[in-house]
Each structure stands twice: as C-alpha cells, then as structure tokens.
Amino acid sequence: MPDSRDLRPETLAAQALGWIETGTRAIVPSIVPATTFERGSDLGYPGGASYGRHGDALATRQAEALLARLEGGERALLFASGMAAMAAVFQTLRVGDHVVVQQPCYYGVGQWVRGQGVARGLSHTFVPAGDMDALDDAVRPGETRVVWIETPTNPTWDVVDIGAAAAIARGAGALLVVDSTVATPVLTRPIASGADIVMHSATKYLNGHSDVLAGALVVRAARRDVIERLIAVRNDNGAVLGPFEAWLLLRGMRTLFPRVRQASASAAAIAERLADHRAVVQVMYPGLANRPGHTIAARQMAGGFGGMLSFRPRGGRAGALAVHGRLAVFKRATSLGGVESLVEHRASIEPAGSKVPEDLLRLSVGLEHPDDLIADLDLALNSL
C-alpha cells in the first residue's frame, strides 16, 4: 500500500486510515466494549490502554486519529456531545479570563458563556459575526484567552474569514476556536488558515446518520499544552464518548466526503430555485453570489458551500409556519447533517432574546434526489 502521507483525504476516510484487524484481518474495525485493561508485571499497560474514561477504547482512538488527519491537527479528542466539547474549551480557563464570542452562532455557546461562564468567573464580549473591526476592538491583549467563531454561521449561513480572525486572536495572545460543524474538513480546514482548535458537533455531518450524540476538538500541533489541558478536563468531567458510539462515528466518517459533496450540490440547486421563487422573500446560502461573504466563502470553502440554507417565505411567521406544516419530504425535526432532509422553524426553539427572524425556515439538505426536494418546497410555497 502507498505511504498514507501520499493518499488523498477521500481515500484515508473511506479506508479509515487503512486499518486491518491484526488477528482476523477484518477490514472493519471491531468494537471493544472493555472499560478496563490488564497491566503488565512492570505495572505498565502493554496494550496502550488503561481505562475507558481516559478515551482508551480502540474505536475512540481510531476515530480520533482519522479526524485529526482529516483536519490537519496534532490530536483530536472525542466527547460525549458537542456541548461537552465546547464547554471543555472554556473549562481550561481561569477566573478573570476574557473570551470573545461571535453572534450569531449555535445558541448553546452563548447560553453557556452567559451562565456557566459567568459563574466560573469568566468575562465575555459578543461581536457580530464577520465584523473584524469589532473583533479587533473586543480583544484584550493579555486578558483574552479564547476567540470563538463559527463559519458558516447558524442559522444565517454567513461566512467568517478564519485567517483574519486568527491574526487578531494571535495578536492578543488568544486561542482561535472555530466551530466547523457545517463546513466539515471536506469543505474547510480551519487549522490551515490559522485556527488553534477546530470544534465539531460530531452528531451532525461527521456521523451523518442521526444516531450518535458526539462532539470533537482538533488541536493544531503547536498547541500541545492545550491538548494536555483538554485531556485533563475530559478525564475529570468523565465526558468521553463510549466505544459503541465511537465505532458508529468512525463508520459515518468513512462516507463523509460523498455525503457532504452531494448534500452541498443539492443545497446549491435548492438555493437557486428558492432565490427565484415568487413566494420567497430572502434566501441565506453562502453559495449565492449576492450573499455577503460570498467572496470569502469562494476562497475559504473548497468544492462546495455546504448542505445548510435558510429562507424566509412570504407572509411572515404565519407564512413560514404554513410552509413548514405542508412539507412532506422534508421532515420537521431539529438537527442537521444526516442523510434525511430536515426543516425547522428556528425561532420556535431559540432562547428568549434571540434575533432569529420569526419567518426563517432552516433546511438541512440530505441525500434524497434534489428534484424531489425542490418539488416538495414548490408544493408548499405555491399555496401561499
């Protein structure tokens, strides 16, 4: 087999880094549910694993190795959920540290910072997504420890310039953390643009089958000190992913590239159709040339603009709810990144004070035929 350093990411993902089971020569890794492992007579661990809470399950280590390789990081760490992964970053900080968080982003981040973060003695500043002047004004050299961005942003799907944000964070001595759940390493590799940590809600595209709750952090090679702090937080909190869930996640990542590319192509076709529809007021998708940030997206996202988009139908909240209720191929459910297409009236589940428009419908485009998805939308919209 060629040196894996010469293989393209699609090949590494499809073959799960080329692992073959040592004893049986199976091409699919086994699930090893053990939580404890035998020590040698010298009190060492000859198998390299000691205890399940340390993330020592074979499937966990395999999935982490693949994700680190795909993102170009030194180490990936899996967590029991995306929220657990997110919280671990902030839990490495100390009382009095300052963080900067973009808005909008996944609402759970803002809730954690306002609640648990304040309770832990962290101060925070929120800045508009993509506003580099506001970000530059918000950071405090010597005080700001984390700058948190998400791109594309949920649920408006604007694109943030990772390289520009990295330069600002680095100048202040802060870590840049990028939530790249929607872009995935198929479309964007934040570490290559200067990010220190990439965060994923692995529940979404990395798994891709809506049957695993998981989170992940990938850390660049130059920040091994950060890796050790994150490992300590994960161990202390017991927030590790179980071996069966890790095995399912690894299974999902093996089809990551074709899934994301097909979803992106279908989302682009749907966005173009909705942009021309008489019953649609606005379409939010980074692949549309008239969207703010499209130039950044075209430079930063390789091979597509993602499988997520939002739109605002005519008729305000009532019109949005009418369309939402009439869709049949799109399933009414929270989450994203699965093989099935989902629609969500986002304002209905946002926390109090959210600025998400009351007429916004969020679409997660799956692997169905795009013509069927477009026909479903047409049927619902034509009734307005």
Residue 150: strand pairing partners: 179
Evaluate whether 156 touches 308 at the Cβ level (below 8 Å): no
| Number of C-beta neighbours around residue 126 at 10 A | 18
Q: Give percent above pLDDT 90 in the chain.
A: 84
Diameter of the chain measured on Cα atoms: 75
Compute the C-alpha angle 344/345/346, nearest 5°: 90
Name the pTM for this structure.
0.95
Query: pLDDT confidence of 285, banded at 50, 70, 90?
Result: very high
- Measure the CA–CA gap between 29 and 184, rounded to whole angstroms: 23
Q: Give percent above pLDDT 70 in the chain.
A: 99
- On the question of pLDDT at 276 being above 90, the answer is yes
Cα–chain center distance at 212: 14
Burial (CB count <10 Å: 0-12, 13-18, 19+), residue 23: exposed
Place of tokens 């220190």: 196
Active site residues: 53, 106, 179, 204
Place of tokens 């973060």: 117
- On the question of pLDDT at 306 being above 50, the answer is yes
DSSP state of 116: I
Query: pLDDT confidence of 2, banded at 50, 70, 90?
Result: low
Give the tens place of pLDDT for each residue, 184-196. 999 999 999 999 9
Using the CB atoms, write b or e for 157-167: b if 16+ within 10 Å: bbbbbbebbbe
Q: In what order do the strands lie in the sheet with 308-313?
A: 280-284, 308-313, 361-364, 342-345, 331-332
Burial (CB count <10 Å: 0-12, 13-18, 19+), residue 241: buried
For the chain, what is the mean pLDDT? 94
Evaluate whether 303 touches 347 at the Cβ level (below 8 Å): no
Determine the pLDDT at residue 4: 65
Q: What are phi and psi of 75, to 5 degrees?
A: -150, 140
- Measure the CA–CA gap between 150 and 180, rounded to whole angstroms: 6
Give the tens place of pLDDT for each residue, 5-16. 789 999 999 999
Q: Which amino acid is at 202?
A: A
- Measure the CA–CA gap between 266 and 372, rounded to whole angstroms: 10
Query: pLDDT confidence of 53, banded at 50, 70, 90?
Result: confident
- Measure the CA–CA gap between 11 and 268, rounded to whole angstroms: 25
Query: pLDDT confidence of 1, banded at 50, 70, 90?
Result: very low
Give the tens place of pLDDT for each residue, 217-275. 999 998 889 999 999 999 999 999 999 999 999 999 999 999 999 999 999 999 999 99
Give the tens place of pLDDT for each residue, 84-114. 999 999 999 999 999 999 998 888 999 999 9
DSSP state of 302: -
Evaluate whether 59 touches 29 at the Cβ level (below 8 Å): yes
- On the question of pLDDT at 72 being above 90, the answer is yes
All domains of the chain in start order, with CATH: 4-253 (3.40.640.10), 256-381 (3.90.1150.10)
Rg (CA), the chain: 21
How many residues comprise the chain? 384
The alpha carbon torsion through 187, 192, 197, 203 (nearest 10 deg) reads 20
- On the question of pLDDT at 139 being above 90, the answer is yes
> What is the H or E stretch that residue 27 is in?
none
| Number of C-beta neighbours around residue 96 at 10 A | 10
- Measure the CA–CA gap between 355 and 129, rounded to whole angstroms: 13
- On the question of pLDDT at 146 being above 60, the answer is yes
Q: In what order do the strands lie in the sheet with 98-103?
A: 75-79, 215-219, 197-200, 175-179, 144-150, 98-103, 123-128
